[in-house]
């Protein structure tokens, strides 16, 4: 059920972002970074390679590209050799060992091919401090377009770019440590006043527990007022995440909050496969004063 909700959430966010950039330029805005036309990540290339050839689906990585709106990405050719329509998505997209938002979904009709681009979230790369993209790990999956149930989860595929030897590997874990237990570490970094929905508190999360875990924020209060929030993320083992605790603009306005001076919260750590709780933290405090 959570995979279904996540899938619909991805479709909704794609629609919101798509509406925001509607009327923007099309293919003429796309630049092949290998030609050196990009501003950041210029001269980045990949070798053309087959990523998946199973379950009557072939996924090829064709080239590394950059779009003036969507940013950097991998151009894919997807072939559906089966007799049924499928949706190709992914459960996780990891760049330089950082979990990055995996907004990718491609509908491919039976017996057809489709050229798609898997974009690497520009805001995600910036938050993680990634300037040189050297390694991209993808967990592809197949989804039934009628039921939106997963058909097949593929093993991780890894794409190394020409910047692999120069990629950023040092974790930017500066800030206030909020949680450190059982191989899970959470650091409060800063207040993000330009979060998509309003304001946000930027967290660095590190998973050295040996298993994939979920991290959620509960019982959040800001400046003494209880707040609704969006923060529930999966962090794969030996990976990192930088993301916002999102605060809704409507809640901030309703409570007369113009700045985040003090925030209190609890963290729930859970098994990413079974959703069983691993640990619930005591109340922790993050202050900008």
Domains and CATH numbers, the chain: 27-166 (2.60.40.1150), 176-287 (2.60.40.2550)
List pLDDT tens digits, range 166-216: 887 788 899 999 999 999 999 999 887 766 556 889 999 999 999 999 999
Reduced to 3 states (helix: H, G, I; strand: E, B; else coil), residue 236 is coil
Q: What pLDDT band is residue 12 in, cutting at 50, 70 and 90?
A: very low
pLDDT over 70 at 9, yes or no: no
Q: Which residue has the tokens 């059920």?
A: 1
Reported as type and span, the H/E element at residue 125 is helix 122-127
Give tens-digit pLDDT for 53-92.
999 999 999 999 998 888 899 999 999 999 999 999 999 9
Q: What is the pLDDT at residue 24?
A: 39
Please return the burial class of 232, using the count of CB atoms within 10 Å of its CB with bins 0-12, 13-18 and 19+: middle
Give mean pLDDT, residues 101-108: 90
Tokens of 41: 């990540």
What's the CA gap between 91 and 230, in Å, rounded? 19
Q: What is the pLDDT at residue 19?
A: 42
Q: How far is CA 71 from CA 91, 142, 186, 228, in A?
A: 20, 25, 28, 30
Burial class (CB in 10 A: 0-12, 13-18, 19+), 5: exposed
């Amino acid at each position: 059920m959570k995979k279904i909700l996540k899938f619909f959430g991805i479709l909704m966010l794609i629609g919101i972002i798509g509406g925001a950039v509607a009327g923007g330029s099309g293919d003429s805005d796309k630049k092949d970074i290998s030609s050196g036309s990009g501003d950041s990540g210029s001269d980045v290339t990949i070798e053309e390679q087959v990523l998946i050839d199973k379950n009557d689906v072939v996924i090829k990585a064709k080239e590394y590209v950059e779009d003036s709106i969507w940013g950097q990405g991998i151009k894919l050719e997807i072939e559906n050799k089966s007799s049924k329509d499928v949706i190709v998505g992914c459960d996780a997209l990891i760049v330089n060992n950082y979990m990055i938002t995996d907004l990718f979904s491609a509908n491919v009709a039976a017996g057809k091919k489709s050229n798609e681009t898997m974009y690497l979230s520009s805001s995600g790369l910036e938050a993680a401090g990634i300037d040189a993209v050297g390694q991209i790990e993808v967990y592809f999956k197949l989804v039934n377009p009628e039921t939106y149930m997963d058909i097949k989860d593929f093993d991780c595929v890894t794409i190394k770019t020409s910047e692999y030897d120069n990629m950023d590997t040092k974790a930017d874990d500066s800030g206030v440590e909020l949680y450190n237990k059982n191989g899970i570490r959470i650091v409060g970094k800063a207040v993000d006043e330009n979060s998509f929905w309003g304001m946000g508190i930027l967290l660095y999360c590190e998973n050295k527990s040996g298993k994939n875990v979920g991290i959620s924020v509960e019982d959040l209060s800001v400046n003494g007022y209880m707040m609704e929030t969006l923060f529930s993320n999966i962090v794969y083992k030996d990976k990192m995440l930088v993301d916002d605790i999102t605060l809704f603009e409507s809640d901030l306005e309703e409570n007369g909050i113009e700045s985040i001076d003090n925030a209190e919260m609890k963290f729930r750590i859970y098994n990413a496969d079974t959703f069983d709780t691993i640990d619930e933290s005591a109340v922790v405090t993050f202050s900008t004063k």
